[in-house]
Amino acid sequence: MDTLTATQSKIFDFIRQRLQNGESSPTLREVSQCFKYSSVRAAECHVQALIQKGWLSSSPGKARSLRVGPAAQLTRSTIADVPLFGSIPAGLPGDRQQEAEGCVSVDIESIGFKPGRNTFALRVTGDSMIGKHICDGDVVLMEHGPDPRTGQIVAALIDGKSTLKTFVVRNGKTFLKAENPKYTDLLPSEELMIQGVLRALIRKAKD
């Protein structure tokens, strides 16, 4: 397996960190600006070398399609790529069409579980879950499939609208609870569909 030069290693870590933070992969211009290259061509040469060595891969003709390659997975066996399906409101429920935006690279040891085929990521918007230390801009890792227990945080469709809330069953009634006194509980009038249960939280450091 091809090893990396010091510069290639720094560029790889920069790109991987962007993905791990739930951001889109950087453009060549952004790589060039970060490393203060006088031209985009220098960044392009290093990124192409990373692709040729298998540390990165990309989709031809698609912008911002860089992702962690197979060589990096072999050497970083604790890193997993989790598909990022857009954002979810942590506030009033809203219309959100969840489409793949790429992947979030996570360290398995850091999050405490191994993501599987039913694991997905969502970017949080809003402040209704601050009582559970979930803030606007955080990325939540969810698992589709298991039935939630009361008190667990869930991504849900309530009457056709998407939201992130605490799942509660009380006196035989199921509802969604906000963790911010500004917001009221949500009781479904027609349908409540659980899309996933929270497994981990990723927070980007503030600049």
Residue among 156, 160, 159 nearest 178 (CA): 156
Greatest pairwise CA separation for the chain in angstroms = 66
Q: What pLDDT shows up at residue 124?
A: 95
Cβ neighbour number for residue 161 with a 10 Å cutoff: 14
Within 10 angstroms of residue 179's Cβ, the number of other Cβ atoms is: 18
Bridge partners, 89 (sequence order): 125
Per residue in 150-166, pLDDT (tens digit) is 999 999 999 989 999 99
Supply the pLDDT for residue 203: 84
Provide the 3-class DSSP secondary structure of residue 16: helix
The one catalytic residue among 25, 32, 128, 162 = 128
Query: How many CA atoms are closer than 13 Å to the CA of 21, on its beta-carbon side?
Result: 14
Establish whether 128 is a catalytic residue. yes
Q: Is the dihedral of CA 63, 141, 168, 184 positive or negative?
A: negative
Q: Which is higher by pLDDT, 81 or 178?
A: 178
Look at residue 96 in the predicted model and tell me its pLDDT. 56
Neighbours of 148 (CB within 10 A): 18
In the prediction, which pLDDT does 152 show? Answer: 97
pTM here?
A: 0.63
pLDDT tens digits, one per residue of 38-94 = 889 999 999 999 999 888 988 877 778 888 887 766 555 577 888 999 899 987 676
pLDDT class for 196, splitting at 50, 70, 90?
A: very high
99 has a pLDDT exceeding 70 = no
pLDDT at 127: 94
Residue type, 20: Q
Among 105, 162, 165, 177, which one carries the catalytic annotation?
Answer: 165
User: If DSSP codes are grouped into helix, strand and coil, which group holds residue 60?
Assistant: coil
- Give, in order, the Cα–Cα distances in Å from 31 to each of 84, 101, 170: 22, 20, 52
For residues 177 and 113, the model is more confident at 177
Distant-in-sequence, close-in-space partners of 90: CB < 8 Å, separation ≥ 6:
124, 125, 126, 127, 128, 129, 134, 136, 163, 164, 165
For residue 103, the cross-strand partners are 83
State the pLDDT at residue 207.
Answer: 53
**pLDDT over threshold 70, residue 30:** yes
Angle 180-147-164 from CA coordinates, rounded to 5°: 25
Using DSSP's 3-state secondary structure scheme, residue 14 falls into helix
Contact criterion met (CB below 8 Å) for 201 and 139: yes
The predicted-structure confidence for 103-137, as pLDDT tens digits, reads as follows: 888 878 778 888 888 999 999 999 999 999 999 99
**What residue ranges define each of the domains in the chain, with the CATH number in brackets?**
6-75 (1.10.10.10), 79-202 (2.10.109.10)
Is 53 one of the catalytic residues? no
CA angle 103, 163, 24 (to 5 degrees): 20
